[in-house]
Amino acid sequence: MSLPILRAGALALGILIIGGCGGGSSSAPEATTPDAAVATISKQVQNDDLAGLVRTILNPAAYAKAQQEWDKKRKEPVKDEEKVQFAMLMTQLTAPGAENTLFLLAKPKLAETQAMLPMAGMFLGMAVAGLDKDDKLSAEEKQQAQKVVAALSTWITGLKLDDEAKLKQAIGLACTTARALKLQDLDQVRALEFDALLTKVGPVVGGVSSILAIYGLDLKASAASLKAGTPVVTGTTAKVPVSFTLLGQTFSSTSIFEQHGGKWYPQEKATKAIGAPSAP
């Protein structure tokens, strides 16, 4: 996924974002060349390795800054109602029989949700228009991002959210993922150091990815298709041709990588949008 995709999905996505609650470090190659960095990103997304992925896309200085921002955010006071909402959500997802309970609650709303899809597609269309005003993207990156968002818009408007079998499967994955977290209150989340937080959240990204795959958006398959061409290196900067498939379409662009301490990272301007996770 080119840099616009990394920013949008981190990531994750894309990211980001299931068939199980995997995670942990992958056997991805060291990013000692720009094309090896692309291969590393591909492996880490496929393995739900969010901790490794963030270290691959943020250079050491940017990573340290993200750590500092998380430490600052998690020490800020939290409203009691936010703590209650988080605890209620986790209880709903992890309670015995949660799968059936949540399905029965969601089933009457399927038709209403399905009817809202055209509006979601409209908002994505507005996002496409807004990309023209993003001064952080080059003309090529804007064009690439617009094509990706357009493909996502088509996917969203074509979804069949009233499919009960898919809903049951998605709810089951959500509950399994929540139980594996073993987090029942917000204080437990905010007690985590940055590295521990990323390791803990990795399976959640994997869970979201698997749920999206149920509905036809297979981010891991997209990550597996990620390929890098021959880098053009100038000093500590490299231009890397990158291609990947998403929703049956092939996308290609040129991504910029920078060298820091012998390793290569996506250009910092393209990863500033990631930053530290917002404290819940």
pLDDT in tens, 12-62: 333 322 222 233 333 445 678 999 999 999 999 999 898 999 999 999 999
Per-residue model confidence (pLDDT) at position 202: 87
pLDDT score of 124 more than 80: no
Region 203-208 average pLDDT: 89
Per-residue model confidence (pLDDT) at position 1: 34
| Residue range of the domain that includes 143 | 3-270
User: Is residue 276 in some structural domain?
Assistant: no
Per-residue model confidence (pLDDT) at position 80: 92
pLDDT bucket at 271, cuts 50 / 70 / 90: low
List the beta bridge partners of residue 237.
Answer: 234, 258
Per-residue model confidence (pLDDT) at position 263: 93
Q: What's the structural domain count of the chain? A: 1
User: Is residue 91 in some structural domain?
Assistant: yes
Per-residue pLDDT tens digits for 165-187? 999 999 999 999 999 999 889 99
User: Is residue 14 in some structural domain?
Assistant: yes
Most confident segment among 120-129, 142-151, 216-225: 216-225
Q: Please give the share of the chain, as a percent, with pLDDT higher than 70.
A: 83
Distance CA(9)–CA(206), nearest Å, equals 12
pLDDT score of 2 more than 50: no
Other beta carbons within 10 Å of 108: 8
Alpha helices in the chain (DSSP H): 3-9, 34-46, 50-57, 60-74, 80-94, 98-106, 110-115, 117-130, 139-157, 164-181, 186-190, 194-214, 219-224
Per-residue model confidence (pLDDT) at position 5: 31
Mean of the per-residue pLDDT values of the chain: 81
Per-residue model confidence (pLDDT) at position 90: 93
pLDDT score of 88 more than 90: yes
Tokens at residue 124, please? 């994505």
User: Is residue 279 in some structural domain?
Assistant: no
Per-residue pLDDT tens digits for 218-248? 999 999 999 999 999 999 999 999 999 999 9
User: Is residue 41 in some structural domain?
Assistant: yes
Q: Using DSSP, state whether 103 is helix, strand or coil.
A: helix
Please provide the distance, in angstroms rounded to a whole number, between the alpha carbons at the two ends of the chain. 27
- Range scoring the smallest mean pLDDT among 26-35, 78-87, 149-158: 26-35
Distance CA(239)–CA(48), nearest Å, equals 27
Dihedral Cα 117, 122, 123, 127, nearest 10 deg: 140
User: Is residue 278 in some structural domain?
Assistant: no
User: Is residue 44 in some structural domain?
Assistant: yes
